[in-house]
Amino acid sequence: MSTSVPDRIAAALLAIEGLALLWVTGRELVALVSGDSTDTGSSIALMVLTVVGVVAVIAFAIAVLRGQSWGRSGGIVTQLLILAVAIGALTGPAPSPGFALALAVPALVALVALFAGVRRAGAARHGAPGDEA
């Protein structure tokens, strides 16, 4: 079974999001080492949780590329969480429309691609004509 275009788009965006989280982990590490952090325990816990997020999002990307439904499900949840952060960036105490837009646009594209992949996989599973993978 070949991977559909929506799945390839979604997998690429998920991989980029995973790499962005890895970059955030690096920033957290730099802040911890440079003494920018006031609570070492919380900083380490945040880094551990961010690394868990990196592993999960990269795993979702690989699973989507392989056509596995659990990857699409995890990817959809990831996009919804990113959209929640984007909304927070717009409505928080220091609104940042540029940051919100930078988060929301790829998340919406990935969400549409993931839903298209879900529909295509469902149609292929039920033998709909013209929906071969």
Ramachandran region of residue 130, left (φ > 0), alpha (ψ -120 to 50) or beta? left
Within 8 A by CB and 6+ apart from 20, the residues are none
Q: Over the stretch 1-45, which tens digit does the pLDDT of each residue have?
A: 578 899 999 999 999 999 999 999 999 999 999 988 889 999 999
Residue with tokens 């003494």: 35
Is the predicted pLDDT of residue 132 greater than 60, yes or no?
no
Gap between the Cα atoms of 52 and 21, Å rounded: 10
Q: Over the stretch 98-129, which tens digit does the pLDDT of each residue have?
A: 999 999 999 999 999 999 998 888 777 777 65
pTM for this structure? Answer: 0.86
Domain range summary for the chain, segments of one domain joined by +: 5-123
The secondary structure of the chain in percent helix, strand, coil, rounded to multiples of 5, reads 80, 0, 20
Q: Look up residue 12 and give its amino acid.
A: A
- pLDDT at residue 133, as a whole number: 46
- pLDDT at residue 66, as a whole number: 95
- DSSP secondary structure letter of residue 3: P
Q: Over the stretch 55-77, which tens digit does the pLDDT of each residue have?
A: 999 999 999 999 999 999 999 99
